[in-house]
Amino acid sequence: MSIRRFLAALQARNLEFLRDRTALGWNLIMPVLIVMGFAFAFSTGQEELYKVGLYGHSEQDLAVHDFLQTRYVDFIPVDELERMIDKVDRHQIDLLLDLKNSRYWVNSTSPKGYLLEQLLAPFQLKREAVSGSEIRYVDWVIPGVLGMNIMFSALFGVGYVIVRYRKNGVLKRLRATPLSAFEFLSAQITSRLLMIVTVTVLVYAGTNLVVDFRMVGSYWLLFLILVLGALSMISVGLLVAARITSEEAANGLLNLISWPMMLLSGVWFSLEGSHPLVQNLALALPLTHMVDAARVVMIEGAGLADVTDQLFTLLLFTLCFVSIGSKTFRWE
């Protein structure tokens, strides 16, 4: 490993990125547009599916029978009341119904909770307050948007770029020099990581000015989670770029990876109550671990000990993908 060669390759990639105004602008503007678009979307409550936790047995109580027949509502049987009340608080379920004691919990900042509560009104159940400060949906979704933005930037910024270099002969030209594959790949990873960190800090600050979201945990811990998350995504990008020679194929494969992550990693909605297969699949995606960890730190103020599992998993993903990616890497 020669630091001089590494720095030369790093500087070239940084200059290329910073001078490509279109790409730079897109990287900064896209997440802000997503947050603004989303703020609008959830303020009008266009989601169709509602989630209601059911504590106790539904057969025992016919009083709310009609309510239980409501379409577009997913009724999830639950058994731990305390844990589920927390989930109402965190927008993971919209309403919690205790059939035995004829009461329910709802988060009064939740638009979906409000609608469900209107449907329940005729049954005259007891309303229970959610303990602690209630969390808005926007607080819940911000960690997901940050994670998703990091994912797209990492996957396409590394994977697509390396495939383009391979196709147009940049890699071939570099290969003819003493620059090693390790030095070249390290430079690409570092350049993208620096870019992601800078853009994420800007997007975080910018979004916070507009929405003033909840952040009760440690900024350093959140930073660590986002850096490890970004590294794991970059390493997925490297793995994709290891051999592919066509930009179209790379684009297809990157989309094939990024879309399931966006939908299954709990970025937009909680996977609570979804099929166990989906939940297990979500655990195989690095974005799930990054978003989960960032969310508990930001919303609940979780400490290092609470997110060790996620950090360790992200590290494991990174090591795994980087070693396979660099072993299978081809200049041509």
Partner 1 sequence: MIEAENLCKHYAGVKAVDGVSFAIPRGVCFGLLGPNGAGKTTTVEMLEGIKTPSSGDIRYKGEPLGQRFRNEAGIMFQHTALQEFIRVDEVLKMFQQFYSHTRPIEELVEVCALEEFLTRDTRKLSGGQKQRLLLAIALINDPQVVFLDEPTTGLDPQSRRNLWHQVRSIKAENKTLVLTTHYMEEAFELCDEIIIMDHGVIIAQGNPKELLANHFDNSVITLPLSALPADFRADEASTLHPQDGQMEILSRDADATIHYLAAQHIPLKQLQVRSPTLEDLFLELTGHHLRT
- Least separation in angstroms between residue 168's CB and partner 1 is 4
- Least separation in angstroms between residue 195's CB and partner 1 is 14
Beta carbon nearer to partner 1, 12 or 215? 12
Beta carbon nearer to partner 1, 16 or 212? 16
- Least separation in angstroms between residue 329's CB and partner 1 is 15
Q: What angle do CA 98, 49, 36 make, to 5 degrees?
A: 115
- Least separation in angstroms between residue 191's CB and partner 1 is 11
Beta carbon nearer to partner 1, 12 or 32? 12
- Least separation in angstroms between residue 152's CB and partner 1 is 21
| Cβ count near 239 (within 10 Å) | 22
* β-bridge pairing 103-106 and 95-98: antiparallel
Interface residues toward partner 1, by CB under 8 A: 4-5, 7-9, 11-13, 15-16, 19-20, 165, 168-170, 172-173, 175-179, 331-332
Q: CA 4, 7, 9, 11: dihedral to nearest 10 degrees?
A: -140
- The radius of gyration computed from the CA coordinates of the chain, to the nearest angstrom, equals 23
Beta carbon nearer to partner 1, 57 or 330? 330
Question: Element (H or E) spanning 55, and its range?
Answer: strand 50-55
- Least separation in angstroms between residue 11's CB and partner 1 is 7
Instruction: Report in angstroms the alpha-carbon separations of 292 from 83, 95, 218.
Output: 16, 21, 15
Fill in the amino acid letter for 196: I
* β-bridge pairing 50-55 and 73-78: parallel
Closest CA to 165 of 191, 139, 133, 144: 191
- Least separation in angstroms between residue 174's CB and partner 1 is 8
Beta carbon nearer to partner 1, 6 or 317? 6
Beta carbon nearer to partner 1, 166 or 295? 166
Beta carbon nearer to partner 1, 57 or 172? 172
Closest CA to 195 of 160, 165, 233, 157: 157
3-state secondary structure of 97: strand
Fill in the amino acid letter for 45: G
